[in-house]
Amino acid sequence: MKTTLSALTIAALLASAPAAAEFAINIGAITVAPDDSSSNLNVVEQVAGLPAGSTSVGVNTNTQLGLTFDYKYTPNWSVQLIAATPFSHDIKVKGSAIDGLKVGKTKHLPPTLLAQYHFMPENQTFDPFVGVGLNYTVFFDEQVDAQLEGALDALSVTGANDVVGLKLKSSFGLALQAGVNVKLTDTLGLHLMLSKMDIDTTGRVQVNGNTIQTVDVNIDPYVAMIGLRWTL
């Protein structure tokens, strides 16, 4: 009975979907290219005798496997969920005598949900769109680089038995998008998109669990994807 009811429920949901509803999966390469800026490493500047305001941190570009899901519920409107395998970024100092010093690295997942408007629903081949939505970025597997540990030891900030750690705060932010879907066959096509995401985090360098340096980082990346599109 339960199986029958479940089947009937699924059938009812499918039957209630709009006639124009279309499901699609996009798979391809997705790149996060940070347009970053940050506050200064004021504690490091003081301890190392560097000019005030001379340092910041930067984050490198990374490419992963992108997987996005589209549900087009009217000819003009759809929703898209962006997912990917975890991005990995190196964090380095920018500026002053310690320019390029490796602070550490982190991984993150930036699931993003967008509402899309499609300009040419009547065109069966070329489907340009724009989107707006929300991004949630969770950071994990933060690791301190040996270069930072060596610099802190050389400055007598840490000793041989101290444990240095790195923590990054999760982020909510706005996401804007533009792109195009190109139909090659009834079920296969191309998906190209470019998004700008608001990703802001606070990084904390810790020694034995106590924060010794806090830095606010605006990653604000451009996110680009090119992939194959399967329409279900």
Summarised one tens digit per residue, pLDDT across range 177-222 is: 999 999 999 999 999 999 999 999 999 999 999 999 999 999 999 9
Name the pLDDT band for 160 (thresholds 50, 70, 90): confident
Q: Which domain holds residue 128?
A: 20-231
Q: Is residue 7 part of a domain?
A: no
Res 14: pLDDT: 46
What total of structural domains would you count in the chain? Answer: 1
Q: Is residue 84 part of a domain?
A: yes
> pLDDT exceeding 90 applies to what percent of the chain?
88
Res 72: pLDDT: 94
Q: Is residue 90 part of a domain?
A: yes
68-98, pLDDT tens digit by residue?
A: 999 999 999 999 999 999 999 999 999 999 9
Q: Is residue 139 part of a domain?
A: yes
How many whole angstroms separate alpha carbon 47 and alpha carbon 148?
14
Residue 6 pLDDT exceeds 50: no
Res 171: pLDDT: 96
Residue 15 pLDDT exceeds 60: no
Strand order in the sheet with 210-218: 37-38, 210-218, 200-207, 164-168
* Range with the largest mean pLDDT of 5-9, 19-23, 140-144: 140-144
- Structural tokens at position 125: 């081949």
- Structural tokens at position 108: 């993150």
Q: Is residue 2 part of a domain?
A: no
CATH code, 206: 2.40.160.20
Q: Is residue 143 part of a domain?
A: yes
Q: Is residue 6 part of a domain?
A: no
